Every structure is written in structure tokens, then in C-alpha cells.
Amino acid sequence: MTTPLRLGIAGLGTVGVGVVKIIRQKANLLAQRTGRPIVITAVSARSKDKDRGVSLDQYAWETDPVALAKRDDVDVFIELIGGDEGPAKDAIEAAIAAGKDVVTANKALLAHHGQAIAASAEDKGCVVRYEAAVAGGIPVIKALTEGLAGNDVSRVMGVMNGTCNYILTRMQDAGLPYNEVFAEADALGYLEADPNLDVGGIDAGHKLALLASIAFGTQVSFDKMELEGIQRIAIEDINLAAEMGFKIKLLGVAQLTGRGLEQRMTPCLVPEDSPLGQLKGGTNMVVIEGDAVEQIVLRGPGAGEGPTASAVVGDICDVARGVRYPTFGVPAAELTKATPAHSNSPAPYYLRMSLLDRPGALAKIATALGETGVSIDRMRQRHHDGSAAPVLIVTHKTQRSAVNDAIALMQDSGVLASDPVALRIETV
């Protein structure tokens, strides 16, 4: 096919400009690899006059992304605006209604509205591609939908937010407290406009919800995910974990069990010599376990102009080649509505707490654990000066529900100086 594939790009931030650069600089290579020219015909952004470091004069300009999505000279609508409501959602819906294919990097939109978007796209014969929405430059969606299509996937897990991984590794490497590294990350521009999207685990949770849908053939159910951010991780936790041979990561885990779909994005301890434990800085990693392939590890940059734009262009190339399959790997009507299940598979837990320095305080904590069936593997009382004594406990394998019950009893005991921190020790 020699007819050009015509693109309309909405959103000209870092990623949008990166896509423009690749399409222009690699025009001949892309045509060779797809069998047809790929060209940009129109663009849209909030400000036309902003200096983006690349000329956009040769493209038609639309102030309204919905108008861009409806243009007759646009075959594929590229949505790089972001947000789960508003212009991004309106424009994607308009593009699908007009029978156009869509490429997006918008994990929040798909995590909240993926089922409806997938159904409407399939009704109109359109495809929606979103490799850039998960783990930046890592082709994990392509791996699940294509390379691993012959596998029954048992578990998907990984580190999917580079900002959180930067904060946790920087705390350990520099011996700095959370608040200081958070401020540093903010000054470097690593945080979202709403930082809680990053440090609260929401951004990474969106990504995990999309991977779980593809891996297990279920409807996207971000609203049923267990979420816990890294805000309560102290430098003391980082150091204590290191003493035991572990690193702390914001780890996403999804698995389909007999009880239902487990999805959690929470801080965990992982062995320091494991692939996840060795992950530093803003790098992402996704681990996929399947019955035929066993375990594969995908590692790479999780954000940034080049890696994310590379993923967008990869999707554009698939559309140019005529690669067409349902949004989540199987038809939207066949995606099952999985029963949400809280993660209750047994694992050791790390508990850190501060006890009032009074007789019998430690005995009350041990009693609370014993009454809920939580067995202590290791216990250590740290040196202290003052009225509160820091205590570290590592349990034998137990269920999170039992840990929660034990914490509730501790909080009623009157001996806690602060709420305990409880982190799962994950086998990877």
C-alpha cells in the first residue's frame, strides 16, 4: 500500500514533540518497515505560539482536539493530552465515532473507561493502541497480546512508576529522608502536577489494571485495586530492609485465583539480588509468568520523550501495517467481570513500630500477634533515647488479614507511640 497514513496529533508536550521528531527524522525507515508513508497532517494543543523546539508550520492547526479528531485528512488520531475526563476523552470518543483508529498514552482514561472505549471501538471497526500508556519504552503490551498469546498467564508484577523508584533508591544511596528526596524529585520535574498520582501509587495502579485485563481476559477494574503509596516509608525502613538483604519497591502484583482477581500496588520488600531488587532510578521492570514461557523479565526506561514517543510510534507502525486486534486482546464482549479479591496469599511481613517506653509494652505486641495467629520469625528492639522505643518484627508466612487484625489489637493496646508500618516480603 502506497497511500500515506495520515496522523492528527493532539497534545504537543514532551511526548507529542518526541513523536513529531521521530516521524520526521525516520520517515524513510518507517515507510520501509510498514510499506507505506506515515505523515502528520494536523496537530492540536492549548497554545499555538509556544516554542517547542520544532517547527509545526507545515501542519494544519486545530485549537479543539475534537475538531482534529473529526478531520477528513486524519486517518489515525494520536491522543497525548492526558486525563481521564475532559478533552482527551471527548476527542477519543469523537475519533471512534468518525471511524478513526486511535493511538494514546493515556493510562488514566483507559483504567477508568477502557471497557466502554473498547466496546465502542470494536463496534465501529476501529483499533485503540496504547503501548505508551504502560512502562514507557518497554513493549509489555505487545508482549502480552502477541508474543505470549499462547500462554495462560499466572502472575504479572513489576515496578511501574519511575518517580517512586527514584525516590526509594535515592533515599538508600544518599541516606536521605523521604521528605528531602521528595522535594528533590519535585525540583527536578519528576512529579506529576498532582504528586499523589505518583507517590500514592495511582499512576502505577492504572498501568497494572490495564496489564491485568490483557493478561487474564477481564474487564479493567482499577477501582477494585488495593493501593498504598510510599509516603510512610522512612529512611529507617530502607536501612533495616538493607540489613536483612532486601530493597523496598512500590510493587504491583496481579493474579487470578480461585477467589477472584487480586490486584495490589503497594510497597514491598524484595530480595536485593533479584532483578527487581537491583532496579535503580527511573527504570521500570515488568515480570510476566506464564505456563509455557515460565518467567520473563522486561526492563527499560519508563518515561521520557524518547522512550514514550518510541512506544507511540511503534503503535502507529502497527496500524500502518494493518495489524488489528481487540483493545485488550480479546473482544470487549468476551472480557469477564472478575470478582475482586483482596490479596491473602501467605507471605512474611516486615513490621516496624514505635512503642511507648513502659513495662510490658513489648509483651502486649507479642500477645496481639499471637492472638491473631501471626508467628514471629525475628524481633529486634533498636537503641533509643527518649520516651519511645523503635521495634522491628519479621513474621513467618501469614495472611495480610491476620496482620491487619494484629495491628488493630496493637492500636487498642495503648502502647503504640505511632501507627505501625507493615510491608509484605514478596517472593520474586
Band (428; pLDDT cuts 50, 70, 90): confident
Catalytic residue among 89, 207, 247, 249: 207
Output the pLDDT for position 188: 83
Residue 237: φ, ψ to 5°: -65, -45
Q: Which of 134-138, 240-244, 332-336 has the highest mean pLDDT?
A: 332-336
Band (1; pLDDT cuts 50, 70, 90): low
Q: Which of 38-42, 339-343, 414-418 has the highest mean pLDDT?
A: 38-42
Residue range 305-344, pLDDT digits in tens: 899 999 999 999 999 999 999 999 999 999 999 898 887 7
The yes-or-no answer on residue 21 being catalytic is: no
Output the pLDDT for position 6: 98
Using CA atoms, how far residue 391 sits from 240, 242, 356, 424, in Å, is 11, 16, 11, 17
**Residues 251-264, mean pLDDT to the nearest whole number:** 93
Band (382; pLDDT cuts 50, 70, 90): confident
| 267, burial (CB in 10 Å: exposed 0-12, middle 13-18, buried 19+) | buried
What is the percent of the chain where pLDDT is above 70?
99
Output the pLDDT for position 380: 85
Q: In sequence order, what DSSP letters do the residues of 156-193 get, joined into one string?
A: EEEE--HHHHHHHHHHHHHT--HHHHHHHHHHTT-S-S
Band (359; pLDDT cuts 50, 70, 90): confident
Look up the pTM and report it: 0.93
**Residues 180-197, mean pLDDT to the nearest whole number:** 89
**Residues 155-180, mean pLDDT to the nearest whole number:** 94
DSSP 332: G
Q: Are 301 and 320 in contact (CB under 8 A)?
A: no
Query: Which residues 6+ apart lie within 8 Å of 190 measured at CB?
Result: 162, 163, 166, 198, 282
Band (385; pLDDT cuts 50, 70, 90): low
Q: Are 199 and 163 in contact (CB under 8 A)?
A: yes
Please state, in angstroms and rounded to a whole number, the distance separating the CA atoms of residues 420 and 413: 13
Residues in the chain: 428
